[in-house]
């Protein structure tokens, strides 16, 4: 049990770091940990969900604070800001519906960073962000843990479930990214 609890602490740190440095596959980390926990200590799945959510929440708070303090200049320097036209659209959606946009952004691969940037640059109050981001992080952690549980329940060995969960997450993320890129030129062709 101690190993699983220290594993949960590591998960929290990995997810928090991945929320700040968006190249870390945080969803795969939660799914893999959930798949492993399913085989070793199924009663600790809630700890995995809580650790993933806490790490995501802490990382998002740090990133949001950095964007609020450092502004667009810091975001460009850290290469978080890449598509300013898309950012303008996200700001408009955030102004209209702050909480739903924050909730959904965590579930869409590649959607969280533009929404965090837009929220910070649009001056969304800390209180609104802190309150709206908490359920978003919990929902995100539950979804990715459920994917890990599915992988863990299908395969008999823990490593097979972890591998299946990670591969599934990577495939889903790649499919969504491919679909978004493929869709993007057709919308600009229609307007041109």
Contact 68, 38 (CB under 8 A): no
Question: What is the CB neighbour count within 10 angstroms for residue 73?
Answer: 9
Rounded-to-integer distance, Cα 136 and Cα 149, Å: 20
pLDDT tens digits for 39-49?
A: 778 788 899 99
pLDDT tens digits for 128-177?
A: 888 888 998 999 999 889 888 887 777 777 677 677 767 776 776 677 66
**Which of 132, 143, 135, 138 has the alpha carbon at shortest distance from 64?**
132
pLDDT of 1 higher than 70:
no
Top pLDDT among 92 and 45 is at 45
Q: Which of 22-31, 53-62, 107-116 has the lowest mean pLDDT?
A: 107-116
Backbone angles phi, psi at 157, to 5 degrees: -105, 140
């Amino acid at each position: 049990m101690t190993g699983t609890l220290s594993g949960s602490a590591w998960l929290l740190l990995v997810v928090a770091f991945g929320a700040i440095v968006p190249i870390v596959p945080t969803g795969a980390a939660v799914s893999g940990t959930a798949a492993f926990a399913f085989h070793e200590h199924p009663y600790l799945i809630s700890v995995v969900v809580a650790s993933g959510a806490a790490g995501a929440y802490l990382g998002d708070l740090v990133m949001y604070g950095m964007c609020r303090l450092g502004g667009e200049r810091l975001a460009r320097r850290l290469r978080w800001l890449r598509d300013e036209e898309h950012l303008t659209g996200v700001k408009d959606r955030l102004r209209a519906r702050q909480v739903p946009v924050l909730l959904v952004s965590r579930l869409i691969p590649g959607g969280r960073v533009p929404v965090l940037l837009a929220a910070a640059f649009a001056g969304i109050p800390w209180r609104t962000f802190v309150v709206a981001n908490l359920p978003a992080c919990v929902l995100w952690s539950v979804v990715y843990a459920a994917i890990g549980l599915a992988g863990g329940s299908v395969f008999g060995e823990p490593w097979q479930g972890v591998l299946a969960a990670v591969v599934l997450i990577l495939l889903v993320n790649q499919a969504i990214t491919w679909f978004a890129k493929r869709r993007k030129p057709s919308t600009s062709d229609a307007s041109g």
